[in-house]
Amino acid sequence: MRVLIAYSSRTGNTKKIAEAIAEAQPQAQLASLPAEVDLDRYDFVFAGLWCDKDQPDEEWKKFFSSILSKKKPCAIFGTMGSDPFGEALFIVKADNFSKVQKPYK
């Protein structure tokens, strides 16, 4: 299986997670966003985000939109500063990013 691990990272936390996934998936390709990536070359994509203003950052959103438009199987991972089960929790939906007001465990 051809695997891509693409991540957006400003200060390096999400990059570390991406690298840990890559250690477990040695055949996978790592890419730091923004990147010129041909999604057709991959069967599965890990998409790593960091949280900015309670949202994934814009580069990641753009990348995720292309994953969605190609209906590419994917797994999302991310890092953030606040409580991941607190008020800032967002869920990534097919076409928008909305906050969940109540803790979601």
Binding stretches for ligand FMN (CB under 6 A): 9-15, 50-54, 79-82, 88
Output the CA–CA distances (angstroms, integers) from residue 56 to 23, 26, 53, 74, in the order listed. 24, 26, 8, 16
CB of 86 to ligand FMN, least distance (A): 8
Q: How far is the CB of 23 from ligand FMN (least distance, A)?
A: 17
Toward ligand FMN, which CB reaches closer, 9 or 46? Answer: 9
> Which of 11, 27 has the CB closer to ligand FMN?
11
We find the least distance from the C-beta atom of residue 42 to ligand FMN, in angstroms, to be 22
Beta bridge partners of 71: none
Please tell me whether residue 14 adopts helix, strand or coil conformation: helix
Least distance in angstroms from the C-beta of 15 to ligand FMN: 6
Contacts of 95-101 with CB under 8 Å at 24 or more apart are 95/68, 97/55, 97/56, 97/61, 99/54
How many angstroms separate the CA atoms of 38 and 36, rounded?
A: 7
Task: CB nearer to ligand FMN: give 34 or 81.
Answer: 81
